[in-house]
Structure 1
C-alpha cells in the first residue's frame, strides 16, 4: 500500500522535500563560502571549520524563522483558501496542514539552533586556546593583533585568563543568543500535546514569548556589528587590497616591515537576520492589527442555552459577519482574560441570521465562561447582564471542502461533532432551496461516550431525517451513531425498548449502535458502493482515532488512478 500512500500524499512529500532541499542548499552553499572566502582565511586559521558550521546554520535559522509565522497567519490562509484559482484540490488540502508545517519548521529552527550554539561554543574555546602559551605561529600572531594603536583585533578573547562565557555575555550577540535559546526551549517544551491538554492557558501564554524571540533575533544579528563585532570577524575589503593573504600569511613575522604585507584589518559582517524576517513579521503584525480592529466591533448575544454534559450554546450577531459551513472563530471574554483567544467551531449555517458555537467545559477558561453565562445548573441571566465577548474570524478549515466531493464521509468523536452541525444545517437549507450540488452522498458517523451528549444534536438529525424522507432523498444521508459508554440501568432500559420504531436514546428511526465501529467493514462497504469515486473523509476528534482513519484511507484507496480514492482531512486549530 506504499503506492497508495505516495499517490495520496505526493504533493505533501514534494513540498517537504522542497523545504528540506532549500535548507540543504543554503547550508552547503554558505558552508563552502565561509570555507573558501579569502576575507575569512585568517578567521579560519584560528577557528577552523566551526566558523562555517556556525554561519551555515545561522542562514538556515534565518530561513526557517522567515517561514515560521506564515502557517499561523489565519487571515492569509483563509484568503488563499477562498482564492479558488490558485488553491484547488490537492493544493487546498496543503493549507489544512498548516500546523504540521509550522511544527516541522520549528524542528528545523531547533536543529539549526543547536548546531549554531555548539559551533559558537567551540569557536570561543578555539579563541581562548589561541591566547595560551601553547599557541604558536600564525594563530598566536593573529590573536595578538589589536594590542597596538591603529590595529583592529580578530580574536575577541583578549587574554588567556578571560572567562569565555562571561566575556560572551557582555556582548549584545551573547546576551540575545541566551535569550533566544531560553525562549525557544520554553516555547517548544510548552507546545507538547501533554501540556496543551493539561493547561491550554500555559501553552497560549508561553507561545507568545515568540515576540521576545523575534526582537532578540533582530538585535542578535546587529550585535555582530555593534560594539565592534565581538565574535565573528573577517578581513575588510580595503585591507584585502593592500594585504594579499596568499602572499602574506607565511610572512606574519614581517607584517610590520614588509611593504606588501601591512597589518591586516578586520571588521564584522553586516547583519542580515532582520532582512529575512521583516516581511513575515510585518504580515503577522497586520494580522494582529486586524484582530484588534475586530475586537472593537460589537457582538450581540441573542440566546444562551445550557445543555447536558457541560455544553454551553451561544447565539450571536455581528455586523457584516459572513461564514461558510465548517469554519471556526476565535472568542475572547475580557472579563475572564484580556489576552486569551480560544478557537470554537461554528455550529450555525450561513443561511441563518445568527452564528452560534457550542462550548464544552474543558479547562479553566471554558469553566469560567460557562459560569459567567449561568451554565452548569446556575440561575439563568438576563442577556443585558452577560459579559462582553469579542470575536475574530471566521477562518477556513478542511470541512469547507465537503461540498467539493461527490461522496463525503464525516466522522466525529464527542464534542468533535460541532463542525458537522453547521454542515448538516447547510445541507438542509440547500436541499430546501433545491440548490444544485456536486455532493450526492454523505456518510455521517458519531462516536460518543455519554448518552446525554446526544440530546442537543438529536433534534437537528431528527428534522433532517424527516425532511429528507419527505423530499424523497432518504438515501442522501446515511448516519451511524455509536454509544461507547453506558451503565447497567441504561442497558436494561435500552433492551426493554429495543423493538420500538424509534431509537430509545436519540428518537431517530436509525437505531444507535453500541460499541465502536469496525472501520475495516465501513470503508470496505463504501469503496464497494462507490467504485471510481473521489471520497472526502473529514474527521474531528482525538489523535489516536485520527491515525486509524488515515490508515484506513490509505488501505482502501486504489493504486489505479481510475479507482476509488479516499482523501483524509482533519480539523485542527
Structure 2
C-alpha cells in the first residue's frame, strides 16, 4: 500500500513538472514578443563611433601609423628620385614621367610584404599580448595595400616599356635614340632593356627574369586574394587553405624579381666624370676626343 501511494505521488509530481515547463516557456516567448513590439530609440551613430574610437584607441593609432608609414615611404622615394641628378639623362631620354616609379613602388611593396606574415604568426602574437588581437584584420589591410601598390607598379612598367619601345625605334638622332643604342655587350653601358626595334613587350615579359617572375607573383597574388573572399573561405575552406600556401612561391619570386637589373641608373663613378646636367645637353659630342663628356654608364638598381 505504501509503495503504491509513493509511486502514484512520484508519477503525479512528474506529470506536474511536465505541464509547468511549457507554460513557463510560452510565457517567456510572449514577453519577448511584446518587448519586440515596443518602440526603440534610433541609435546614435556619432556616440557609437566615438565609443568605438575610445575603446579601440590603440587599433586606431596603429592603423593611422601604418597608413602614414606607407604614405611617407611613397612620398620620400618619389621626392628622392625627383631631385636626384642622376635621373636627368633618363628624363631627357624618355620624356617627363614619374621619377623612378618602379623602385619607389617596389619599396612600398617590399615593406608591406615584410609585415603581412606577422599577423598570422600565432606564437609570436601570444607573446606580444592582447594588443594584436585584431591580427587578421591587419593581415587583410596589408594585403589590400600590397594589391594597390602592385597595380600601380605594373601600370608604370607598362607605360615605361612603351617609352622604351618608342625610343628604340627612333632614328632621328635624338638623345633617346642614342641612349637606346648603347651596346648590350658591355655590362654597364646599356640603359634600354629592349635590344632591337623588333622586340615586343610580350617578348621582354616572358624572356627576362623580371618579366617571368613578375607574371608568376602577380598570378599568385590574384589567386590568394580572390580565393580568400569570405564566401569562398566559408564554403570551400580547402580551396582557401591550399591556395593561400602559394605565398611560398610568391615570396621566392619576389626575392628574385629584381635580380635582372632592368631598372637602371647612372653609376656614381660615371657621374663624377660626366656631369649629368651638362653632358645631357651636349650628347652629340660624347664621342669627340676633345670632349669632356663621355657616353654614360649605367647599372641595375639593387633589388
Shorter-normalised TM range: 0.7 to 0.9
User: 1:170-218: CA deviations, max 9, x gaps?
Assistant: 1111111111100000000110001111110000000000000000011
Equivalence for 1:100: 137
User: 1:331-354: CA deviations, max 9, x gaps?
Assistant: xxxxxxxxxxxxxxxxxxxxxxxx
Equivalence for 1:202: 239
C-alpha deviation, 1:8, in angstroms: 1.9
Equivalence for 2:59: 12
Alignment of 1:158 with 2:195, yes or no, is yes
Report the CA distance shift for 1:152/1:195 in structure 2 as closer, same or farther (over 3 A).
same
C-alpha deviation, 1:56, in angstroms: 1.6
Q: How does 1:370-449 map onto structure 2 within 5 Å?
A: none
Alignment of 1:58 with 2:106, yes or no, is yes
Alignment of 1:32 with 2:69, yes or no, is no
In structure 1, the gaps of 5 or more residues are 82-91, 225-230, 272-573
Equivalence for 1:479: none
Report the CA distance shift for 1:19/1:148 in structure 2 as closer, same or farther (over 3 A).
closer
Q: How does 1:44-83 map onto structure 2 within 5 Å?
A: 44-47=91-94, 48-81=96-129
Paired residues of 2:102 and 2:263 also in contact (CA < 8 A):
no
User: 1:256-296: CA deviations, max 9, x gaps?
Assistant: 0143101111111122xxxxxxxxxxxxxxxxxxxxxxxxx
User: 1:104-156: CA deviations, max 9, x gaps?
Assistant: 00000000000101101111101001122376522122112227878711111
Separation in structure 1 between the aligned mates of residue 276 and residue 202 of structure 2, nearest angstrom: 31
Equivalence for 2:271: 240
Paired residues of 1:176 and 1:220 also in contact (CA < 8 A):
yes
Separation in structure 1 between the aligned mates of residue 66 and residue 141 of structure 2, nearest angstrom: 10
Report the CA distance shift for 1:119/1:135 in structure 2 as closer, same or farther (over 3 A).
farther
Separation in structure 1 between the aligned mates of residue 222 and residue 140 of structure 2, nearest angstrom: 14
Aligned residues: 254
User: Per the alignment, in what secondary structure is the counterpart of residue 131 of structure 1?
Assistant: helix
C-alpha deviation, 1:6, in angstroms: 2.2
Separation in structure 2 between the aligned mates of residue 33 and residue 141 of structure 1, nearest angstrom: 26
Q: How does 1:471-510 map onto structure 2 within 5 Å?
A: none
Report the CA distance shift for 1:116/1:145 in structure 2 as closer, same or farther (over 3 A).
same
Q: How does 1:546-557 map onto structure 2 within 5 Å?
A: none
C-alpha deviation, 1:160, in angstroms: 2.1
Alignment of 1:115 with 2:152, yes or no, is yes
Paired residues of 1:145 and 1:151 also in contact (CA < 8 A):
no
Report the CA distance shift for 1:201/1:28 in structure 2 as closer, same or farther (over 3 A).
same
Paired residues of 1:177 and 1:216 also in contact (CA < 8 A):
yes
Equivalence for 1:127: 164
Using the size of structure 2 for normalisation, the TM-score is 0.79
C-alpha deviation, 1:12, in angstroms: 1.3
Paired residues of 1:72 and 1:102 also in contact (CA < 8 A):
yes
Q: How does 1:346-361 map onto structure 2 within 5 Å?
A: none
C-alpha deviation, 1:53, in angstroms: 2.5
Separation in structure 2 between the aligned mates of residue 56 and residue 151 of structure 1, nearest angstrom: 22
Q: How does 1:176-255 map onto structure 2 within 5 Å?
A: 176-224=213-261, 231-255=262-286
Report the CA distance shift for 1:157/1:77 in structure 2 as closer, same or farther (over 3 A).
same
Bigger relative CO (Cα 8 Å, ≥ 6 apart): 2
Tell me which protein shows more helix as a share of its residues. Answer: 2
In structure 2, the gaps of 5 or more residues are 1-46
Using the size of structure 1 for normalisation, the TM-score is 0.43
Q: How does 1:252-291 map onto structure 2 within 5 Å?
A: 252-257=283-288, 258-271=290-303
- Give the RMSD, CA atoms, in angstroms: 1.8
Separation in structure 1 between the aligned mates of residue 171 and residue 181 of structure 2, nearest angstrom: 14
C-alpha deviation, 1:57, in angstroms: 1.3
Paired residues of 1:151 and 1:265 also in contact (CA < 8 A):
yes
Paired residues of 2:73 and 2:107 also in contact (CA < 8 A):
yes
Equivalence for 2:70: 23
Separation in structure 2 between the aligned mates of residue 135 and residue 42 of structure 1, nearest angstrom: 17
